[in-house]
Amino acid sequence: MTATPTATPTATPTETPTETPTTPAIEGLPLPVALTPEAGAILLRLARAVVAATASDPPRTADLAGALPPDPPTVLLASAAAFVTLHQDGELRGCVGCLATDEPLWETVVSAAVSAASRDPRFTPVTEPEVPSLTIDVSVLGPAVPLGDPAAFRPGLDGIIVERGGRRGLLLPEVATDQGWGTREMLEMTCRKAGLGRDAWRDPGTRVLVFRTARVSETDASR
């Protein structure tokens, strides 16, 4: 097993360890997430180091000393939800995150990277020869706010969470852009991801939340 310093296990988007906390926002819209280029670069280095260590044979403990500076940016020390996404040849290879966490952001990303490489139930674990061909993205999630009016949802800008009866589904903002989906498709597909009917978002007993992200990608960093 790959050891990570004090990192907690992550939850896939359809698991519900706790109810998603909400934060008031201006006019009911989710607030943007601030992430400096320096902090984003550190998170990408951390994620790659952890994915490489997790995929090694046998798995080894990631050496984070070269990725995390002794005095990291303050944003990395604050608690925040995050997802790590892996692509290979343009295709999804793993995506796992953590919504409920009291850990510093950098530890959340470390834990999510382990899970994206080895615990996404949709894929076999990443192998060591695959690591050089992977492209890694890190998405830092801002506080979620209730979506009072579906017409206020902004595809490609807002992510979405659907919760009901112990089930939860989440789609990141870029899914709408990648799939060409509008508001209705995002609502319906998030319900399906939660294991609910497509129209479950219309039910008053269903909790629908939206959030913003700051997303950094190795693809952007290489340009």
- Rg value, the chain, Cα: 17
60-104 pLDDT, tens digit per residue, is: 989 898 899 999 999 999 999 999 999 999 999 999 998 877 899
Assigned token pair, 190: 């998030």
Q: Provide the pLDDT for residue 20.
A: 53
Q: For residues 36-64, b (16+ Cβ closer than 10 Å) or e, as one string?
A: eeebbebbbbbbbbbbbbbbeeebeebeb
Is the pLDDT assigned to residue 197 strictly greater than 70?
A: yes
Span 22-31, pLDDT tens digits: 444 445 678 8
Q: What is the pTM of this model?
A: 0.84
**Phi, psi (degrees; rounded to nearest 5) at 76:** -75, -15
Residue 41 CA to residue 96 CA, distance in Å, equals 19
pLDDT of residue 126: 98
Instruction: Please tell me whether residue 53 adopts helix, strand or coil conformation.
Output: helix
Tokens describing residue 154: 């902004």
CA atoms of 159 and 30, how far apart (whole Å)? 9
**pLDDT at residue 4, rounded to an integer:** 36
Reference 161, options 41, 28, 20; nearest CA is 20
For 110-142, how does the pLDDT look when each residue is reduced to its tens digit (9 = 90+)? 999 999 999 999 999 999 999 999 999 999 999
**pLDDT score for 18:** 42
- On the question of pLDDT at 9 being above 50, the answer is no
